[in-house]
Structure 1
Amino acid sequence: MSRPDLLQDNIRVTLFKMTVPMMMGIVSLMLFNLADLYFVSRLGTDALAALGFTFPVCFTVISLAIGLGIGMSATLARLLGAGESDEASSLASDNLLAIAIMVALLSIVLQFLIDPVFTLMGAAENLMPVIRSYMQIWLIGSVFLVVNMVCNACMRASGDTKTPALLMAGSSLMNLCLDPLLIFGYGSIPGFGIEGAAAASIIAWSVTTLIALHILYHKKKLLVVQSLDKQRVWGHFRSVMKIGLPAALSNMMTPIAQAVLTYLVARHGPEAVAAFGVGNRIESLSLLVCLALSMTLPPFISQNFGAGNIERVKEAYKQVAGFALVWQMLVFGLLMVVADRIADIFSNIDAVKVLIVLWVFIVPCGFAFQALTFLTASSFNALHQPMRAMRISIMRLFVFSLPLALIGSQLYGLQGMFIGLVVANALVALTAWGTMQRFFKTL
């Protein structure tokens, strides 16, 4: 598929062309994480537990990368839409340099905080050497991870989602090949255990980062060699962080809320926790299409916003919202049909199967509203309204989801909790939609 013209081509066709590659890229990232989990699990319980403890810290860095990518994409796309290609190239160059330096400094600081942070998280003493050996290497590679993700955001800002998807897939494939080699060794090549898993990730990120930088410089012309002007660099960095920082904080709230929900579920027994864990995996797959759409919609909106095509922005949001509601209800219907089969796949314990089926028949009913909510938040980021997007995220997690889940759990047990989550998603979706409509009237 050729790269679409975000300012002229048919809205529906354009978003379709951009979203399909992103879906493939997201799937490849899921496989990246599953590969690490699978091969590390072969090292034993301690290694797997250590990897589990590293998730919150790693996710914090990834959330920062996602936020920076959102800020970069929104700012860059608006400049490109306004025809300011030289300023766009200057901004992208300054920010990639500033981001690399910032993450390198953050990595150094976190190296000294490994022991106190993971001790505070409750890691047992026998796990600390394993955690330390993994994180020391992972943090070094985090510079490549973050720069890689921001480079991909730069490409999406130009309307190219195919190249970032290919880079994501290439990174996952490289990691899949390197994991067993570096973890277990082969022939004369020694195995490095969990350190090998971290090293495999670093190599995959670094190679794809170099390729991405090459593409941005030689093909996209979004990187330029320019004099180092502190005032210019700081101005460009601030413009991206105005959107990127709230977006990063919004992403960081999700695991916090998820931890609280897991705590509420745990009060109903280990079978409920197992079923809820299965539900979380089903949720990520069920929302895959709309998640990909939430990554391709912002460049479209930002470019048209920068070009002054406000009616085109409104129409795109309307079409995407309608699609999300219809698509996710179809997914809900399909899940209900195959609920028993899903339960059989994920568990052989009858008590867990019953709760998985209960989850399938209730929670996915709210996925349509959930999709509308995060699509609205990503649209606000694209319209350079990051605080509105952040308020929607706070509202979803802490004003509606957690309180209604707690009330439902207290009144009607686990079933009541699941119903509370659906009601919360519906209420926040209506609020988000209304907020967007009011904002459109000001444009």
Structure 2
Amino acid sequence: MMSFGLIDTFFVSLLGTEPLAAISFTFPVTFTVISLNIGLGIGTSAIIGKLQGSRELSESKNYATGSLMLSTLLVGTLALIGYFTIEPIFTLLNASPTLLPYIRDYMSLWYASSIFLSLPMVGNSVLRACGDTRTPSIVMATVGGLNALLDPLFIFGAGPVPAMGIKGAALATLLAWMVGAVWILYLLAVKRNLILPRLLSLLELKAISGDILKIGLPAAGANMLTPIAGGVMTAVVASYGAEAVAAWGVGSRMESIASIVVLALSMTLPPFISQNVGANRFDRVHSAYMVSLKFVLFWQLFVFVVMWVCSGWIAVAFTSEPEVSRLIQLFLMIVPLGYGMQGIIILTNSSLNAMHHPLSALALSVIRLFVFFVPISIAGSYFFGLTGLYWGTVVANIAMATVSFVVFKNTLSVFKQEQHAT
């Protein structure tokens, strides 16, 4: 999933600084749409997993079908709104008039691809809830590989295929997700028989949607806050010029890849926690949470060292512009230091969702982004320039990780007290 943005960014960077800056501006917007899918996937997984565990297989099919329909409708609506507001939204993000044509070329097709993206993302949540984590990996890896093959073909052209520039990157994404959508529907409907062979009626969809959205909307909202804050930060970075925005975009894509192990844990830890909360085994909940946090801290420290050592090579791989290269390297030598603490934040939020406390997770996301991340980073930028902004993200992650840890411990303590009371 993360490879799409990174690969698009890499090939577009070969077109020059302006196209690279343009695709960097799109990240907060594209991640907003992706966040909606993530939230719907969390709600779907929680409900389908419970139904599968209680062997209510017929009801599980109804919810799986409804979740796919709901995600398509909601993402389609969001994409339609986005398509007709490309210029005002990106102008608000401080994109210059010279970058808007590039942004329009990319986003006009990307919005279409987001509708097809919703099917494999939510469909994979159904598979994981039914105990299959291998097939979703195969689907995502294959579709990501297809995108990587199509990117240079459409961006630079070959034979009868014309060079489309940044628009070619969006077309590659569209075709790749179309393949993913067809594939996941075949798996769910034909091979696994996990969804109904028909669409739900309006009344059926309405009844099912409420349960999915009860968990999915707070989770989606928590995820959507990240790109909103990212949009604010992009606007701040834009005051330093197109080179700074280009570097920020590359750094953000690298952050997604650097956090991939944390994100994997955030999808595998919640089912474990949910099962043990249901069994009143809070000792195992605490043990799993603590072991995961310790691992993440050591792992992300290793990732920081690797990125610090390789920062120069990574920067050169993405650009030949000396100033952009310098700023990418600066990003990679500072910001990844806070990734371990960011891992604690991510795992705490996913654990709270698993414990059926989605509003607590949402509240933590609001605090993280708008009490710590944005204000501290802007303050760092004001006093120490772009270097201060980078260090501000590290300080914000440390502060928020501390708050997240305390909230989880208090929540678990309440569960234990309720158990003793009963």
TM-score by length of 2: 0.81
What amino acid sits opposite 2:176 in the alignment?
A
Structure 2, unmatched stretches of 5+, are 416-422
Q: Which residue of 1 aligns with 2:128?
A: 156
Answer yes or no: is 1:57 the counterpart of 2:29: yes
Name the CA distance, whole Å, in 1 between partners of 2:14 and 2:328: 29
**Which secondary structure state, in structure 1, belongs to the residue aligned with residue 194 of structure 2?**
coil
What amino acid sits opposite 1:141 in the alignment?
S
Name the CA distance, whole Å, in 1 between partners of 2:173 and 2:65: 25
- Structure 1 pair 325–113 and aligned structure 2 pair: CA distance change class (3 A): closer
Answer yes or no: is 1:299 the counterpart of 2:264: no
1:4-403 equivalence runs, <5 A? 26=1, 29-30=2-3, 32-42=4-14, 47-121=19-93, 123=95, 128=100, 130-225=102-197, 228-261=200-233, 280=252, 283-305=255-277, 310-332=282-304, 334-335=305-306, 339=308, 342-343=311-312, 346=315, 356=329, 360=333, 363-403=335-375
Name the CA distance, whole Å, in 1 between partners of 2:18 and 2:84: 23
Bigger drift between 306-315 and 66-75 goes to 306-315
List per-residue Cα deviations over 1:129-185 (Å, max 9, x = no partner).
554444333322221111221111222222322211111111112122223333444
Name the CA distance, whole Å, in 2 between partners of 1:165 and 1:296: 13
Deviation of 1:79 (Å): 2.7
- Structure 1 pair 195–270 and aligned structure 2 pair: CA distance change class (3 A): closer
Q: Which residue of 1 aligns with 2:419?
A: none
Say if 1:183 and 1:191, in contact at 8 Å, map to a contact too.
yes
Bigger drift between 432-441 and 350-359 goes to 350-359
What amino acid sits opposite 1:72 in the alignment?
T
Say if 1:144 and 1:209, in contact at 8 Å, map to a contact too.
yes
Name the CA distance, whole Å, in 2 between partners of 1:344 and 1:198: 27
Say if 2:330 and 2:387, in contact at 8 Å, map to a contact too.
no
Name the CA distance, whole Å, in 2 between partners of 1:273 and 1:286: 20
List per-residue Cα deviations over 1:84-116 (Å, max 9, x = no partner).
333222111112122223333333343333344
Deviation of 1:439 (Å): 1.7
Name the CA distance, whole Å, in 2 between partners of 1:213 and 1:78: 22
Say if 2:25 and 2:245, in contact at 8 Å, map to a contact too.
no
Name the CA distance, whole Å, in 2 between partners of 1:39 and 1:413: 29
What amino acid sits opposite 2:353 in the alignment?
N
Say if 1:298 and 1:382, in contact at 8 Å, map to a contact too.
yes
Match of 1:442 among 414, 418, 421: 414
TM-score by length of 1: 0.77
- Structure 1 pair 176–413 and aligned structure 2 pair: CA distance change class (3 A): closer
Deviation of 1:209 (Å): 1.3
- Structure 1 pair 58–365 and aligned structure 2 pair: CA distance change class (3 A): closer
Name the CA distance, whole Å, in 1 between partners of 2:173 and 2:105: 14
What amino acid sits opposite 1:179 in the alignment?
D
Name the CA distance, whole Å, in 2 between partners of 1:71 and 1:95: 9
What amino acid sits opposite 2:212 in the alignment?
V
Q: Which residue of 1 aligns with 2:420?
A: none
Name the CA distance, whole Å, in 2 between partners of 1:408 and 1:241: 38
Name the CA distance, whole Å, in 2 between partners of 1:152 and 1:394: 28
Name the CA distance, whole Å, in 2 between partners of 1:425 and 1:149: 28
Deviation of 1:319 (Å): 2.2
**Which secondary structure state, in structure 1, belongs to the residue aligned with residue 414 of structure 2?**
coil
Say if 1:80 and 1:303, in contact at 8 Å, map to a contact too.
no
Name the CA distance, whole Å, in 2 between partners of 1:270 and 1:188: 33
Deviation of 1:123 (Å): 5.0
List per-residue Cα deviations over 1:284-331 (Å, max 9, x = no partner).
444332222112222333344456655543432232123223333444
- Structure 1 pair 199–367 and aligned structure 2 pair: CA distance change class (3 A): closer
What amino acid sits opposite 2:273 in the alignment?
I
Say if 1:77 and 1:302, in contact at 8 Å, map to a contact too.
no
Name the CA distance, whole Å, in 2 between partners of 1:216 and 1:392: 35
Say if 2:79 and 2:114, in contact at 8 Å, map to a contact too.
yes
Deviation of 1:341 (Å): 5.2
Say if 1:328 and 1:368, in contact at 8 Å, map to a contact too.
yes
Name the CA distance, whole Å, in 2 between partners of 1:51 and 1:409: 23
